[in-house]
Amino acid sequence: MKLGKRAALIVVDVQNDFCPGGALPVPEGDKVVPLLNDYIETFLREGAPIYLTQDWHPADHISFKERGGVWPPHCVQGTEGAAFHPGLALPEQGVIVPKGSSPNEDAYSGFQGTGLAARLKRQGIRRLFIGGLATDYCVKETVLDALREGFETVLLEDASRGVEVKPGDTQRALSEMEQAGAHTVRIGELKVA
Ligand code: VGL
Ligand code: ZN
C-alpha cells in the first residue's frame, strides 16, 4: 500500500487514561505508541499532515457513570489522564483535535462536532490513515465517519488496540470497518515512494 499524495494521518486518543494504569485502560494500549511514532516519522518525512484527536470531557460528561453513562470518568479536560501518552512523538506540525467537550453529547468519532472533515477536504486530502485507541470505539467511529465523508480510509491495524468490554469486540469492529470499505495496513506494508 502506498502512502500517496493527498494522504493524512489521524492518531486517535493516545492518552494516559486509555493506557494501562489510566482510568479507562485499553489492554496493551501503550503498545501502539512506538508503532504510531514510526507512522508519524513516515508522514513527517513525506510532508503529509498529522492530526491527533484528544478525548476531552468536562468533569460532568454524559458518558460518565455518575450521569448514567457506561464509562468511569476519564480524559477530563486539563488532567494528567487526558494528556497524550508521554512516549508519543507529538510532532510540532501535528494538529490537535479535541472532541467530546460538550457535557450533554457523546462523541466517539474525531469527526463529530470538530470540523475535521471540512478542514481535510479544504487541504485536498483524499486518503486517511487512522490508528490509536480504542479500535472498538473511537477508532471504529472515526473510520466509519471517514468513509461516510468519502475519504479512502486505511486502518493502522498494528497501531490500534480495543477495550474489549465484551470479548470479540475488537474483531467485530475490524469486520465492521472492512465491510464498510476500510482497508488495513501494517507498518512494513506502507510504501512511501
Ligand atoms: C473512548 C470510550 C469513551 C475511545 C473514548 O477513545 O475509544 N472510549 N471515550
Ligand atoms: Zn470518552
Find out whether the beta carbon of 133 lies less than 6 Å from any atom of ligand 1. yes
Rounded Cα distance between 53 and 120, Å, is 14
**8 Å CB contact between 75 and 17:** yes
Q: Is residue 1 part of a domain?
A: no
Q: Is residue 184 part of a domain?
A: yes
pTM, two decimals, is 0.97
Find out whether the beta carbon of 82 lies less than 6 Å from any atom of ligand 1. no
Domain of 158, in residue numbers: 7-189
Annotated active-site residue 75? The verdict is: no
Q: Is residue 113 part of a domain?
A: yes
Cis peptide before 173 (omega within 30 of 0): no
Q: What sign does the dihedral 17-154-70-56 (CA atoms) show?
A: positive
pLDDT (tens, 9 = 90+) of the chain, 193 residues, equals 888 889 999 999 999 999 999 999 999 999 999 999 999 999 999 999 999 999 999 999 999 999 999 999 999 999 999 999 999 999 999 999 999 999 999 899 999 999 999 999 999 999 999 999 999 999 999 999 999 999 999 999 999 999 999 999 999 999 999 999 999 999 999 987 6
